[in-house]
Structure 1
Amino acid sequence: MKSVRLICILALLCGELYAQSDAQLRSYETTMVQSPPVIDGRLDDAAWDLVDWAGDFIQRQPEDGAAPSQDTKFKILYDAKYLYVGIRAFDLEPDKVVRRMSRRDGFEGDFVEINIDSYSDKRTAFSFTASASGVKGEEYVSNNGDDWDSTWDPIWYLKTSLDDQGWIAEFKIPLSQLRFADKEEHVWGIQVMRMLFRKQERSYWQPIAQDAPGWVHLFGELRGIRGIKPQKQLEIQPYLLGKMEKSPAEEGNPYATGSQSDLDVGVDAKIGLTSDITLDLTINPDFGQVEADPSRVNLSAFQLFFQERRPFFLEGKNTLNFGLTESVAGGQFNNDNLFYSRRIGGSPSYFPSDEDIEYVDRFEKTRILGAAKVTGKNKNGFSWGLLESVTNKEMVEVQDTLGGRREVAVEPMTNYVVGRVQQDINQGNALIGAMFTATNRRLDEDHFSYLHKSAYSGGVDFTQNFDDRNYYLSLNAVVSNVNGDEEAIYNTQTSSERYFQRPDNRRKGVDSTRTSLSGTSATAAIGKRNGNLIFQTGGTMRSPGVELNDVGFLVQSDYISQWTWAQYRILKPFSIFRWVRFNGNQYLTWDFGGVNLQKAINFNTHAQFK
């Protein structure tokens, strides 16, 4: 602890070597076009002559505030259906432009990007990226730049070309892919960026220093948009999937004959109910082509967290996010969340194991009969999300030792409901929100007594920014309740999340007669975002009875933890370095019986050479 205080004192004595400058807010004036440009990556259409070039980009990396080594200019037009963006990336050595092909959202090689805050809420933006090779990338930006969701995949059009002056990117973005209010005149936030790959140089139209306390709220302005109406979105994607698998046959096993075939049919749909509300629907969704999870070996008693990869759940996932503890210092509690979509449609939890069963047919995932999700945000800064999903009662065929066959239920029919609301206050300087989840199972088989019949959780969160968002305070509180047979609640008490049966548990031990269990969680943190010295300190707790794993994610309960993280950073290049960061972390953890579980401190340094 003395070492941490000494480092903080020395850093404060050194002072701020570099501070956020009050960059002038830039503005670009666009105009409506009657004959739109052809998207061919040339920028030679007469329509582009209707507006002026914008340029004078400022370097942000590696040298904050310096002039870029290559010039960049852009133009923006619009009509009733589309926004058109043309970016000219000048290069004195065009043969050195790095044009790498990659998958969508690869962001490799030279690229340009435009961020659009069409909500004008100073917190969220839609990002469109074009690589010099023509690869498209998109991200949904939320929490004022703290979260960049690359799983957002809108429909838009792009062409790029290379010439003796550098390279060109020409965008055509449907207004239906953006969200904006229904009014006569709009002022949107925009930011345009260029990445010069060979120099690892990023330059921006609206200067924003590396140590700025945020991102979206510092954008420049796009003016001149008048008379457009929010566009309703309609996308329907039916599918038909047939598959056949060949494998070595297993003698005597009627379910391993060496050949298996299957046929699936379903539909996904996205409907823009209004300019502010989007409805996502799925019936028997096609998850067969989803990228596989990476292989991981778990040598602990605690569950592993896997990223969601299924398209239906990825769309708008930030809206339904409620992290219990988002500590910069890290920790086992950072993945805890009220909603973990991998719980829906996962592997069945029961395996037939009666003594007379000899062979069991193969089963993989619980079928999602149908799911619907409504997400939206209005012009007053109120955002919401509601998800409803029903999973099938899964049956599997088994063969007994006498050759008879029957079906056994391996997963009950289950209903999941998740709701989330948030309200921006004072253009995002404050944020208040709440979330609710409910899981209800139809336990119509005796052997399902190990499962919770119902599980509920709810939480509220609040964030307040101070001093032009340089400082912040964040708070949240959560309650949970699970109900079921005595076996289900006994399993919950003795699971790896809490181990009530452990000999060193000073609190009340296992109660085998309980049919419900309730608990709470809370977190408080304060921090500083800008300048050479930044920090976060806070505390989090999980009461012994808190349980979220029916539709959320919880690693462990029964602890109270405190952390402090501080970083002293030099972001301007000096000597042989582009930047240097010095970090210090400190942790203390107790259980609810007062036993100290952890005392830790560490220091680390990160640097990038010129």
Structure 2
Amino acid sequence: MNIHAWNTHDAPKIDGILDDEVWSDPLNMTNLTASLNGHYLNNDEADKYIYEGYFTQNWPNNNQPSRQKTRLQVAYDDYAIYVSAQLYDTAPDSVRTNLGGRDSGSGAADSFIVSFDTYNKQQDCFEFEVTAAGVQSDRMRGMSGWDGNWNEVWQSAVQKNEEGWAVEMAIPYRALRMPNAKEMVWGVNFGRVIKRSNETAFWNNVDAEKQGYVNQFGSLRGLYDIKPPLRLTLSPYISNVAVSKQGSDKIANTFSGGADLKLGLGQSFTLDVSLVPDFSQVQADNEVLNLSAYEVQYGEFRDFFRQGTSIFNKWGQFYSRRIGQSHVAPSDDHLQDNEEFIFKPNDAPLINSIKLTGRTEKGLGVGILNSITNVSYAIIEDTLTNETRTVEADPLTNFNIISVDQNLPNNSSIGVINTNVRRGQGHKSSNVSSGHFNLYDRNNMFRFRGFGALSQEFNTEVGNNGEDERLTTLGHRFDLGHGKVSGNWHYWVSTNVESDTYNPNDLGYNSSNNAIQVRANTSWNQYKGKGIYQRYWVRVGYNEDHLYAPKAFMYRNLWGDADMLFNNFWSVRLNAAITPQMSYDYFGPREEGYRFAQYPSHDTGVTLNSDGSKRYSISMRASIWQRQHFNQLDDYYRYGQTYRVNDKWDLNHQIAWSQNRNEKGYVTTEKDESDNVEAVIYGDRNVKTLENNFWTQYTFNNKMFLKLRLRHYWRQVAYDEFFDLAKSGELLTSDFSDVNEDGEKEHDANYNTFNMEVSYSWEFLPGSFVTAMWRNELGSNSYNSHYNFTENVNEMWKEAQVNTLSVRLMYFLDYQQVKRGIKNM
């Protein structure tokens, strides 16, 4: 489908009332005698510029007409592109107008979406969404991924009317990237969400049976002589952070200022610079007591590392939390007699960060990110004299990542990534280089995917001659996959090989290496409703893992899952898996040459979700896992609920409970004076975990909200018996005891974290914010695994609470907007 944009010299007033001349008579048909920029209009027809009709559903009734009609128009001038839509509704009073925070998507409200593929490459797009309550969201999406953290400043307004509701949008060219050409043809699509019927429909049909999204767009024509503007914005800020700890009369107060700068380089690239970064208002991590051999991966809440980073987030090569994380925290080797650490830093101060991202007219995408963290120190105290000294924990460190990819025909792409971490003399540095490709056939029916990487670690050690020697450790990984990805029937097969020395973790995330993995699955996807259901899918799969070095079998399992959406918009998902033979865990023991024998097991689970468009909705999950040989039984239950009090206020609660009975897990390693392993100790333990989350938001209007978030995490670990792990994997009788002189079981745990956050945000001008956050944190960790809930809460509440109050003012300055304002004075 095609729609034409109309050049206007009188920009519409963005108020949601479609009475501007450009919308009522875009062609000025009664006086059409001339031409515009050499484009002759005498024979133009109004229906080229005005669309009125029924979109096509993508959800729930794929390829069926929308239940409601929509009218569209597009206009432009030398500053912005303008979109108007009348969203007809046969029941105007039923239009959902629930409020939410910026970038919350449609949420519980009706919404309108416009997407621009400005280079018309059918792979990536800029997407803008407005709800019937006027809440804005923006994102970049397509073959490069989904970047919902990408933010731009643009205008929109909505109005309810007798025929439904109307929306107007003004999207400045500053918010887009585009070629510099006399005539441009953009890919475009418009979407509409009707919440009471859970409908998502598009102007140009997006068929759920076909692979891809942007490749199913229509065309926007009639764009002439648009000059890409100078894209320059500055967001200076000032902030004040006050921190106090219960029991202390001191308040640590920090006043700071800085700025975020965005500069367009040519028509394709944007340079982001964060000068004196401020991360005082990021959400607290959902910390856990980790009993596994694998690192916990936490989410990223710092805006600079969330926005515009989709080009880096591929194949685990970039884990932004590495930047600012303490990498070289000092060991006990630094301690002398009668000394102990009284402070070890958890992070390294960030000095600055820069980021260059963009994509050219020919589909070449480039991303460069560089960050520098400062030296950090640990503090050591002599327990006899109380004298203190400092030792370096982290040196000055430079983090750098470069990602380049090229769009190819048929949604295909090829690219390379390089990550590099450089630390001071005597510390480890690293480099990881990788390449990847993603190929589709002409009909986007089949996909062939590949990835390969080489990791290098550079360490300095003292050689036999007493001089420093630089040692290099090489590792590699490759992954190949192929499958059918469109139609009702899908399949996928892949293999992944990681050497025992492959390590991208200085700037990436890889939970474990030293593995050869085979994966295969096939599924049937039914997109058309019949009887009691709207759609469903059923899938079965097979996994098998081997150790890379030395070559050894680890495990294989069979699994299946299925999901069905019913006509009342409730859904149910079932899953089951079986590991039919002896498996071997080479990572849990934490020591080379050891493995843990895992007897056959099986598990099953069910998830039930109610209609999320209703005022009250629920989500429930129950699962069970069993290994009969050890009489192991794990069960897990989760219950979530949402209640929308009114359009401005919603309440959300989720509680999860799990219990692992007779779990066999790693406890510790006993070593002799020469640091040789004497015994790897495993234990029979019972693990109970309770996680309680509550959050609520009151939205005053589409520019201001107040949010409360509470989280309590409680885990108890109680050991009944200990074993020596044989190298063959069997558990042997052990005389190990963890009872100390006070009669406490030192490996039992009663662990708690509690966080309360209250945040306020007011967008007083487009892109300019006043924000405030108060955070209360406390936690406890003891050996009292026998405590009940009341005893546990009493113990936790005796710990000192840490309170943080942060207030921040940020002002948005746009060069083009300032220039336009001066011109119109």
Asked if these proteins are the same fold (TM beyond 0.5), I'd say yes
CA gap 1:483/1:174 in 2 versus in 1, 3 angstroms: same
Query: What's 2:304 paired with?
Result: 312
Query: What's 1:374 paired with?
Result: 356
Does residue 499 of structure 2 align to residue 550 of structure 1?
no
Task: Tell me which of 407, 417, 420 is aligned to 2:400.
Answer: 417
Query: What's 1:460 paired with?
Result: 435
How far apart are residue 482 of structure 1 and its match?
Answer: 0.4
CA distance in 1, matches of 2:341, 2:318: 36
CA distance in 1, matches of 2:479, 2:511: 16
C-alpha contact (below 8 Å) 1:454/1:483 kept by paired residues? yes
CA gap 1:587/1:156 in 2 versus in 1, 3 angstroms: same
Q: Give aligned pairs, total.
A: 531
Which gives a bigger RCO, structure 1 or 2 (Cα 8 Å, sep 6+)? Answer: 1
C-alpha contact (below 8 Å) 2:520/2:543 kept by paired residues? yes
Task: Tell me which of 304, 312, 324 is aligned to 1:345.
Answer: 324
Give a deviation string over 1:534-566, Cα, whole Å, max 9, x none: 121111110111011111111111111010121
Query: What's 2:210 paired with?
Result: 212
Give the 3-state SS of the residue equivalent to 1:313 in structure 2: helix
In structure 2, the gaps of 5 or more residues are 27-48, 463-468, 568-825
Query: What's 2:446 paired with?
Result: 471
How far apart are residue 238 of structure 1 and its match?
Answer: 2.5
390-399 vs 515-524, which moves further = 390-399
Query: What's 2:488 paired with?
Result: 532
Does residue 256 of structure 2 align to residue 264 of structure 1?
yes
Give a deviation string over 1:216-259, Cα, whole Å, max 9, x none: 1120000001010112221222233222222223xxxxxx6643
C-alpha contact (below 8 Å) 2:458/2:470 kept by paired residues? no
Task: Write out aligned runs for 1:437-456 (5 A).
Answer: 437-443=419-425, 452-456=427-431
C-alpha contact (below 8 Å) 1:103/1:135 kept by paired residues? yes
How far apart are residue 425 of structure 1 and its match?
Answer: 2.3
C-alpha contact (below 8 Å) 1:55/1:74 kept by paired residues? no
More strand per residue: 1 or 2?
A: 2
TM-align CA RMSD: 2.1
Does residue 561 of structure 2 align to residue 604 of structure 1?
yes
58-67 vs 47-56, which moves further = 47-56
Query: What's 1:509 paired with?
Result: none
CA distance in 2, matches of 1:343, 1:568: 40
Task: Tell me which of 16, 26, 33 is aligned to 1:41.
Answer: 16
CA distance in 2, matches of 1:296, 1:137: 32
Letter in 1 for 2:560: F
Letter in 2 for 1:167: W
C-alpha contact (below 8 Å) 1:28/1:54 kept by paired residues? no
Does residue 273 of structure 2 align to residue 281 of structure 1?
yes
Letter in 2 for 1:151: N
Letter in 2 for 1:302: Y
C-alpha contact (below 8 Å) 1:283/1:368 kept by paired residues? no
CA distance in 1, matches of 2:22, 2:271: 36
CA distance in 2, matches of 1:348, 1:242: 28
CA distance in 1, matches of 2:138, 2:447: 29
304-313 vs 216-225, which moves further = 304-313
Query: What's 2:476 paired with?
Result: 520
Task: Write out aligned runs for 1:121-270 (5 A).
Answer: 121-143=121-143, 147-249=145-247, 258-270=250-262
TM-score, structure 2 normalization = 0.62
Task: Tell me which of 524, 527, 548 is aligned to 1:568.
Answer: 524
Query: What's 1:497 paired with?
Result: none
Letter in 1 for 2:138: E
Give the 3-state SS of the residue equivalent to 2:50 in structure 1: coil
Letter in 2 for 1:531: G
Give the 3-state SS of the residue equivalent to 2:501 in structure 1: coil
Query: What's 2:631 paired with?
Result: none
Give a deviation string over 1:494-519, Cα, whole Å, max 9, x none: xxxxxxxxxxxxxxxxxxx9933211
Give a deviation string over 1:396-434, Cα, whole Å, max 9, x none: 5555443444433221111112111111223x5432111
Task: Tell me which of 367, 378, 388 is aligned to 2:370.
Answer: 388
TM-score, structure 1 normalization = 0.83
CA distance in 2, matches of 1:359, 1:242: 30
429-438 vs 474-483, which moves further = 429-438
CA distance in 2, matches of 1:552, 1:348: 13
Give the 3-state SS of the residue equivalent to 1:56 in structure 2: strand
Give a deviation string over 1:553-608, Cα, whole Å, max 9, x none: 11111111010121101110100000011011110111123321111111111001
Give a deviation string over 1:132-159, Cα, whole Å, max 9, x none: 1111111101307xx3211011111111
Q: What is the percent sequence identity of the aligned residues?
A: 27
Give a deviation string over 1:155-176, Cα, whole Å, max 9, x none: 1111111112111111110111
